[in-house]
Each structure stands twice: as structure tokens, then as C-alpha cells.
């Protein structure tokens, strides 16, 4: 799919992979719709890129997602590509004494409920457009094999993986494509402080955009490319490696 001269929406656009997507796509397209929750960072995006429209939406708040998407579609009827990029991860083990059960709902809302809702709310518009449209759902290698920590995060990514496949099946022979990006550990604010080998957000975004251009509907980035092979050849070893995160 060609990602030029379009109106594109990106969630989690103020940092990490989302911010790099904005930097790469803004010069090539008519409008970038950036969703975030930090007013100062959204303002900074507008200052750097003249074709940026920003919306402050807390993705854990379902009503804000609904009202926000209605407002976005009313103001941007030519929107044709959506990156469901935003995600959060709480690192404590559920078995840890300091684990906060309230964080479960927040992770489910941001990582799973919000992207599925954005897809559902936008689908009628995409289907009515006489041109190619696309959802790009960012997932993780943890969707295929979880780590010991952050089990709720792993579960949401497994759910996004399953949802993206099913949603793609539903939209066969339509103008709507569903991409999924399975990422390795990427150097972003969410992974700050981890010593594991990471790839840069810039490298991750370059791989994502190459995969979309080539119409690879499941885009495995970096070391995540090994996961399907290892799951067949050495599933026990893969689980042990991924367990450590």
C-alpha cells in the first residue's frame, strides 16, 4: 500500500514509535491526525509539522474514544489510514505485593478495547470510500510467546494478534486492508531502563513502512522474524527465551 498524499491517524503519536511515524509520514501526506494525552507534546508536534491536527483523547476512557472518533471523522472525511499504535505496559508481576489490580482495566482499555473500538467505529467510513484504506495494528512478538512479567500486556497483544487475523478475514475482497506489526523490544519510553538488546524506534518504523509498502499483512520486525520459525523448530527453547522478556 502506498502511504503518500493521504490523511492518516496515529494513536500514541507523542513519543516512541508513534512520534517516529509522525516524523516519517508528515512530509509525505496531506494531514496527520495525532492522538495523545499530553497537551504540551501535542502542541510541540503542531509546531514541528504544519499539516498536523491533534486530539487529546484518553484511550482508557471509552466515551472519549467514541466522541473523539466522531469528531475526527466529521472534520476529516478523507481519513483513510489508521495506526493503532498506543499501548501501555505495567511491569510488576501479578503475584507481587505491590501489584495494583486497578491497572488491569487500564491496560485492557488502552491496549485492546480502544484499538478494536477505533476499528469498529471507522469501518463504515472506510467501506464507503472508493479507494484503498487500511488499519495498522501494532502488536508484539509477545503475542506469540509471552514473558513472565507484564502478563496483562502480553494477553492484550495476543488478543490484538487474534483480532487482526479475524478482522482481516472479514474484510477479504473489500477496499479495507488490515495489517499487523509484530515488534521486538524497541527503545521507547515504555522500555526505559531495560538492559535487553533493543532496536531503535526509527529502525522499527522503517521496517513497518517497508512492510506496508510491500503489502505484508503480518509484518515481523527485527528478531521477531525468528518467532514463527522457532515456534515450529524449537518451541520449548523459544518459550524459555521469551519467558525472560
Which is more confident, 241 or 175? 175
Cell digits of residue 22:
509522525
Question: Can you tell me the mean pLDDT for 78-89?
Answer: 97
Q: Which domains does the chain have, with CATH numbers?
A: 7-243 (3.40.50.720)
Write down the catalytic residue from 67, 70, 153, 220. Answer: 153
Its pTM surpasses 0.85: yes
Residue 119 C-alpha cell reads as 476499528
Q: What cell does 82 get?
A: 489508521
Could you report the per-residue pLDDT of 146-188, keeping only the tens digit for each? Answer: 999 999 999 999 999 999 999 999 999 999 999 999 999 998 8
Whether 235 contacts 197, CB under 8 Å: no
Confidence of residue 237 (pLDDT cuts 50, 70, 90): low
Q: Does the active-site annotation cover 153?
A: yes
- Between residues 77 and 233, which one has the greater pLDDT? 77
Extended strands (E) in 114-163 = 133-140
Average confidence (pLDDT) over 85-89: 96
pLDDT value of position 215: 98
* pLDDT score, position 137: 98
Amino acid at each position: 500500500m502506498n502511504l503518500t498524499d493521504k490523511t492518516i491517524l496515529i494513536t500514541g503519536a507523542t513519543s516512541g514509535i508513534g512520534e517516529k511515524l509522525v516524523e516519517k509520514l508528515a512530509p509525505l501526506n496531506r494531514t496527520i491526525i495525532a492522538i495523545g494525552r499530553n497537551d504540551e507534546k501535542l502542541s510541540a508536534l503542531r509546531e514541528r509539522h504544519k499539516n498536523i491536527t491533534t486530539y487529546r483523547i484518553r484511550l482508557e476512557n471509552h466515551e472519549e474514544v467514541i466522541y473523539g472518533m466522531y469528531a475526527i471523522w466529521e472534520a476529516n472525511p478523507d481519513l483513510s489510514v489508521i495506526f493503532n499504535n498506543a499501548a501501555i505496559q505495567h511491569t510488576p508481576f501479578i503475584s507481587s505485593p505491590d501489584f495494583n489490580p486497578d491497572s488491569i482495566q487500564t491496560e485492557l482499555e488502552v491496549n485492546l478495547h480502544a484499538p478494536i473500538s477505533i476499528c469498529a467505529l471507522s469501518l463504515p467510513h472506510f467501506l464507503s470510500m472508493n479507494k484503498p484504506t487500511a488499519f495498522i495494528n501494532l502488536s508484539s512478538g509477545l503475542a506469540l510467546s509471552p514473558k513472565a512479567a507484564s502478563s496483562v500486556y502480553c494477553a492484550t497483544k495476543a488478543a490484538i494478534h487474534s483480532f487482526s487475523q479475524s478482522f482481516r478475514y472479514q474484510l477479504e475482497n473489500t477496499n479495507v486492508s488490515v495489517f499487523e506489526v509484530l515488534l521486538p523490544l524497541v527503545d521507547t519510553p515504555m522500555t526505559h531502563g531495560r538492559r535487553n538488546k533493543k532496536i531503535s524506534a526509527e529502525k522499527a518504523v522503517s521496517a513497518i513502512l517497508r512492510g506496508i509498502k510491500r503489502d505484508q499483512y503480518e509484518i515481523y520486525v527485527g528478531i521477531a522474524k525468528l518467532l514463527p520459525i522457532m515456534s515450529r523448530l524449537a518451541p520449548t527453547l523459544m518459550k524459555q527465551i521469551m519467558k525472560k522478556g
